[in-house]
Structure 1
Amino acid sequence: MEFKMKEVGFHTTTEYGELHVAGDEAYGYRPYQLMVASIAVCSGGVLRKILAKKRMQIEDMTISTNVERNEAKANRIEKIHIHYTIKGKELNHNKIEQSIKLASKNCPMAQSVKDSIVIEETFELA
Structure 2
Amino acid sequence: MIFQMKENGFETELEYGKLTISGNEAHGFRPYQLMVSAVAVCSGGVLRKILEKQRMPIRDMTVEANVTRNPEQANKITDIHLHYTITGDELNEAKVHKAMELAQKHCPMAQTIIDSVTLTETVTLTK
Q: Same fold (TM over 0.5)?
A: yes
**1:26 is aligned to 2:41:** no
Identical positions, percent: 58
**Residue 93 (structure 1) aligns with:** 93
Task: Give the letter for the 2:12 counterpart.
Answer: T
Residue-by-residue CA offset, 1:41-90 (whole Å, 9 max, x unaligned): 00000000000100111000000011000000000000000000000012
**Residue 78 (structure 1) aligns with:** 78
**Structure 1, unpaired ranges of 5+:** none
**1:111 is aligned to 2:117:** no
**Structure 1 ranges of 4+ moved more than 3 A:** none
Aligned-residue offset at 1:114: 0.6
Question: The residue matched to 2:48 in structure 1 has which SS?
Answer: helix
Task: Give the letter for the 1:16 counterpart.
Answer: Y
Question: The residue matched to 2:64 in structure 1 has which SS?
Answer: strand
TM-score, normalising length from structure 2?
0.98
TM-score, normalising length from structure 1?
0.99
Question: The residue matched to 1:58 in structure 2 has which SS?
Answer: coil
**Residue 122 (structure 1) aligns with:** 122
**Residue 39 (structure 2) aligns with:** 39
**Residue 53 (structure 2) aligns with:** 53
Task: Give the letter for the 1:14 counterpart.
Answer: L
Q: CA RMSD in A?
A: 0.5
**Structure 2, unpaired ranges of 5+:** none
